[in-house]
Structure 1
């Protein structure tokens, strides 16, 4: 009975440790965003908005 308990605790600790490591790596990842000047969809949306207003 104690062996099952010890193995279960070890598995829980390993899973918790892996979750903490992957979460900390995810927060360190730098996300980038394309500049608005190079976005062709934004230009099309502005044209459609202007046409709807007229």
Structure 2
């Protein structure tokens, strides 16, 4: 009985470790993308504010 519980426990630990390694390796291979600056409305807003400050000066 003791050996059965030990074997099942070891199998569960190995499966969890294997799943963690697979998940981590997939996370590192994921390619993140960034939106181009032309489509970013916040950049346009900042430029407009800077232009207004320059016109005031």
The two structures share one fold, judged by TM-score above 0.5: yes
1:9-41 Cα distance to aligned partner (Å, 9 max, x none): 000000000000011011111110001121012
TM-score by length of 1: 0.78
Question: Aligned residues, how many?
Answer: 53
Q: What are the within-5 Å matches in structure 2 for residues 1-54 of structure 1? A: 1-48=2-49, 50=50
What 5-or-longer segments of structure 2 have no aligned partner?
none
Moved >6 Å (runs of 4+): none
TM-score by length of 2: 0.74
What 5-or-longer segments of structure 1 have no aligned partner?
none
Work out which of the two has the higher radius of gyration on C-alpha atoms and give 1 or 2.
2
CA RMSD of aligned residues (A): 1.9
